Structure 1
Amino acid sequence: MLKIFTTQLTGIFNRIQEGEAQSIEDGARLLAQAVISDHSVYVYGKNELEGILKEAMYSSEPFPSVKVLPKNEENWPDFEMTDKVLMFCAGSADDEELKMAEKLYERGIGLVVVSPSGKDGAPIASFADVHIDSKLRMPLLPDEDGTRFGFPSLMVSLYIYHALSFTLKEILQEYQ
């Protein structure tokens, strides 16, 4: 089972590297605008993706200018126009996440969204300046009864988070 999981996960990472490299670079450039102008990058993830928030804030290499985006709009900060939001969604976005993205869009806040695209794309992408497809649409492992299990949304999101972080670091080094 571990070999199948590793093979499937490696396949997801390879598809992200091959298909999303430009979106990752575009996302990092958008986020760099906030960092360079001494404004904030607000990060959002719910449920298991709250792990991204911990990585961004408390890891040995925290994300520059990072703050947590509160889930409730009434707790949102008074955004500056150069503030940006980095949003991680495990699915193609639930109603709450869609509404959140729409409200950020209406306020003119730059938004980078990481979520899987389905057959019809990702509805949340219409509110994002940059959408990065996580490529994780269904669980990776087949069970004996034909169902599937093993949905490593945090692992895949952390891979994209680090890709954004490394690209942002390169952009900031070029800027200096």
Structure 2
Amino acid sequence: MLKIFTTQLSGIFNRIQEGEASSIEDGARLLAQAVISDHSVYVYGKNELEGILKEALYSSEPFPSVKPLPQDEESWPAFQAADKVLMFCADSADEKELKMAEKLNEKGIGLVVASPSGKEGAPIASFADVHIDSKLKMPLLPDEDGTRFGFPSLMVGLYIYHALSFTLKEILQEYQ
């Protein structure tokens, strides 16, 4: 199973690298606008994807200008025009996350969203300035009864997060 899992996960990473490189660069450029202007980059992920926020805040290489975006709108900060939001979603059609993205869009906040795109696309992408397809649409491993398991949304989200972080670092170095 481990070999199959590793092969499938490597395939996801390769598809992100090949298919989403320009979206990752666009997302990093949008986030760089907040960092360069001394504004905030708010990061959101619910459930297991909260791990990305922990990485952004507490890792040995924290994301510049990062702050957590609360899940309920009543707790949101008073956004400034140059603030940006980075959302990680395991499902691009989650009603609560769709409403959050719509509200952020209405407020004119720059929004980068990483979520899977299905056959119909990603509904949340219509509210985002930049959408990055996580390519993780279903669990990776087949079970004996025909069901599937192994849905590594945090691992895939962290891959996208690091791709954005490295690209942002390059942009900031060019700016200085």
- TM-score norm. by structure 2 comes to 0.99
Q: What is the Cα deviation at residue 131 of structure 1?
A: 0.1
Q: Give the paired residue count.
A: 176
Name the residue aligned to 1:110.
110
SS at match of 2:108: coil
What is the rounded CA distance, in whole Å, between the counterparts of 1:6 and 1:166 in structure 2?
23
For residues 74-104 of structure 1, give each alpha carbon's deviation from its aligned partner in whole angstroms, at most 9, with x where no partner exists.
1111100000000000112310000000000
Following superposition of structure 1 onto structure 2, how do residues 58-69 of structure 1 map, counting pairs within 5 Å? 58-69=58-69
For residues 118-139 of structure 1, give each alpha carbon's deviation from its aligned partner in whole angstroms, at most 9, with x where no partner exists.
0000000000000000000000
Superposed structure 1 runs of 4+ greater than 2 Å apart: none
Give unmatched runs, 5+ long, in structure 1.
none
Following superposition of structure 1 onto structure 2, how do residues 69-108 of structure 1 map, counting pairs within 5 Å? 69-108=69-108
What is the rounded CA distance, in whole Å, between the counterparts of 2:32 and 2:93 in structure 1?
25
Give unmatched runs, 5+ long, in structure 2.
none
SS at match of 1:85: strand
Amino acid across the alignment from 1:152 = P
Q: Percent identity?
A: 89
Q: How large is the RMSD of aligned CA atoms in angstroms? A: 0.4
What is the rounded CA distance, in whole Å, between the counterparts of 2:91 and 2:153 in structure 1?
9
Name the residue aligned to 2:162.
162
The answer to whether the 8 Å contact 1:44/1:88 transfers is yes
What is the rounded CA distance, in whole Å, between the counterparts of 1:98 and 1:144 in structure 2?
35
What is the rounded CA distance, in whole Å, between the counterparts of 1:114 and 1:135 in structure 2?
10
